Amino acid sequence: MENLLKSGMEVWFLQQYAVPQTHQILALLLVLVLWQRKPANWVLSGLQEYLNKQGFHIVGYGCTTCIGNSGDLDESVSAAITENDVVAAAVLSGNRNYEGRVHPLTRANYLASPPLVVVYALAGTVDIDFEKEPIGVGKDGKEVYFRDVWPTAEEIEQVIKSSVLPEMFKSTYSSITKGNDEWNDLAVPKEMLFPWDPKSTYIHKPAYLENLAMSPPGSPSVKDAYCLLSLGDSITTDHISPSGVIKPGTPAAKYLLERGVEPKNFTTYGSRRANDEIVVRGAFANIRIVNKLLKGEVGPKTVHVPTQEKLYVFNAAMKYKSEGHDMIILAGDEYGAGSSRDSAAKGPLLLGVKSVIAKGFERIHRSNLVGMGIIPLRFKDGEDADSLGLTGHEKFTIDLPSNISEISPGQDVTVTTNTGKSFTSTLCINTQVELEYFNHGGILPYLIRKLAEPSEEQ
């Protein structure tokens, strides 16, 4: 196996192996420590000594491995994946397995327990039957099988009792509020309000509350809106608002270059998520997103319908906004699956998206859309954009009353197009409280207006 990372942030293993042409796979397998107390457990149990001998060193904590944070793959490996359209597979002991979870080039990501991650790494493939096939060859030349290295439940219980000790937790929680030298040495501004640094490319005063009127705006009008993207099923929050590396040539990269940031310091969308200018330029910037308007092409671009120009999603949205056009998004089932990423609702709002019309929503993301004032509409059962013959080149008008008192949670909403087609959808606002947020244009304007109200004592 070959160590692919020069940065030393974590150990990656890769082995390319022969499988049928229709199932070409590169297996990317990794190990990291998700909680800083675990190394003590592993060292005390004696496990780490043997993991080190196999190349599984403790090299990072927490989000070290997420979406390529650990660094680039070797150029030859990246080239092999992209040039041959290889489906690269990753095995991780995390909590989600959406496309690109470990690295933008890993399309297939499988969840497993930490010991299974190690076993898959030793095997160097995910295309294996552990019952029948060996995971490797020992020093004596004999084949080693999964059953030879997997501990019994009794062995695991014994190690837990001897190595996971109450004192570990007591010592951690007794000092958890004390911070550390780096944190405690930070200079704390004395101002009552946060002193925004206009030169910062990491933290930027957001535009969500600019020019906020004290009266709620009511339901937004959506008339003759263009479709910014037409998407399929299982669009994750990482498709909508990726956390991975900011690639040269993208709108976010251009923004950073204009502010003197060198490409080597672009870092990731995730690390710059406190900058709304990066959030809006990163919306739908995932390199694996599939937009039906592009007719099979994969990547973070779309079609500006009036001119048929192919543009980055951000550039197309800004063009629509400059022309005074509303925008909607068409999507399939499970729109917003994955981690509950608030930027996946903030990004579309900043782009100017007024509504998402989907076959189905992930529940938290649906709530986040309402919280940002975006209208979530669901196709009726048995219907979707394809069955209704919607190409994404139409103009869409949503018949929703502007007076919030005339709107009910879950009511039917009619959507019409300039091609003569119309359909009935369901308003995915579920409670009166959500309606109140929606009436204010989202939860942030709602809170600001509530804070600005005079108290009863006054």
Residue 379 has pLDDT above 90, yes or no: yes
Average pLDDT over residues 207-234: 92
Q: Count CB-CB contacts under 10 A for residue 257.
A: 14
For the chain, the first-to-last Cα distance in angstroms comes to 71
Interatomic CA distance for residues 279 and 99, integer angstroms: 20
Interatomic CA distance for residues 311 and 146, integer angstroms: 50
Average pLDDT over residues 323-332: 97
Number of Cα atoms under 13 Å in the Cβ half of residue 180: 2
Interatomic CA distance for residues 77 and 122, integer angstroms: 19
Query: Which has more pLDDT, 247 or 31?
Result: 247
| In contact, 169 and 37? CB cutoff 8 Å | yes
pLDDT confidence of residue 237: 93
Instruction: Please return the burial class of 370, using the count of CB atoms within 10 Å of its CB with bins 0-12, 13-18 and 19+.
Output: buried
Q: How far is CA 123 from CA 17, 145, 194, 198, in A?
A: 10, 10, 52, 51
Provide the CATH topology of domain 222-241+283-452: Aconitase; domain 4 (3.20.19)
Residue corresponding to tokens 């096939």: 133
pLDDT confidence of residue 159: 85
Confidence band of 200 (pLDDT split at 50, 70, 90): very high
The tokens of 272 are what?
Answer: 């710059």
Confidence band of 46 (pLDDT split at 50, 70, 90): confident
Cβ-Cβ contacts under 8 Å for 76 (sequence gap 6 or more): none
Residue corresponding to tokens 């207006």: 449
Q: What is the DSSP string of 363-416?
A: HHHHHHHHHTT-EEEEEPTT--TTTTT--S-SEEEEE--SSGGG--TT-EEEEE
Rg (CA), the chain: 25
Residue 302 has pLDDT above 60, yes or no: yes
Question: Which ranges constitute the DSSP H helices of 54-91?
Answer: 75-83
Q: How far is CA 167 from CA 34, 44, 48, in A?
A: 20, 13, 20
Average pLDDT over residues 105-113: 87
Residue 455 has pLDDT above 80, yes or no: no
Residue pLDDT, tens place only, 84-96: 988 888 888 877 7
Q: What is the DSSP string of 186-247?
A: SPPP--SS----TT-SSS---STTTT--SS---SPPEEEEEEEEEB-S--BHHHHS--SB--
Q: Taking the mean position of all CA atoms in its chain, how far away is CA 391?
A: 26
Question: Which ranges constitute the DSSP H helices of 231-342?
Answer: 237-240, 251-258, 276-282, 313-322
Helices (H) and strands (E) in the chain, counts: 16, 16
| In contact, 395 and 225? CB cutoff 8 Å | yes
The share of the chain scoring above pLDDT 90, in percent, equals 55
Q: What is the DSSP string of 168-186?
A: HHHHHHHSTTS--HHHHTS
* Least reliable range by pLDDT among 37-41, 146-150, 201-205, 267-271: 37-41
Average pLDDT over residues 392-404: 94
**Sequence spans of domains, the chain:** 2-173, 222-241+283-452
Interatomic CA distance for residues 134 and 144, integer angstroms: 5
pLDDT confidence of residue 321: 97
Query: Which has more pLDDT, 21 or 210?
Result: 210
Cα dihedral 332→239→365→349 (10° resolution): -100
The share of the chain scoring above pLDDT 70, in percent, equals 87
Q: How far is CA 204 from CA 195, 347, 393, in A?
A: 10, 14, 35
Q: How far is CA 227 from CA 62, 104, 288, 324, in A?
A: 38, 26, 19, 14
Confidence band of 30 (pLDDT split at 50, 70, 90): very low
Confidence band of 411 (pLDDT split at 50, 70, 90): very high
> The pTM is what?
0.81
Confidence band of 439 (pLDDT split at 50, 70, 90): very high
pLDDT confidence of residue 14: 31
Average pLDDT over residues 18-29: 35
Query: Which has more pLDDT, 350 or 173?
Result: 350
Residue type, 23: H
Pick the CATH number of 2-173 from 1.10.260.40, 3.40.50.150, 3.30.499.10, 3.30.110.40: 3.30.499.10
pLDDT confidence of residue 19: 30
Interatomic CA distance for residues 84 and 82, integer angstroms: 6
* Least reliable range by pLDDT among 89-93, 206-210, 360-364, 376-380: 206-210
pLDDT confidence of residue 107: 84
The tokens of 298 are what?
Answer: 């994969």
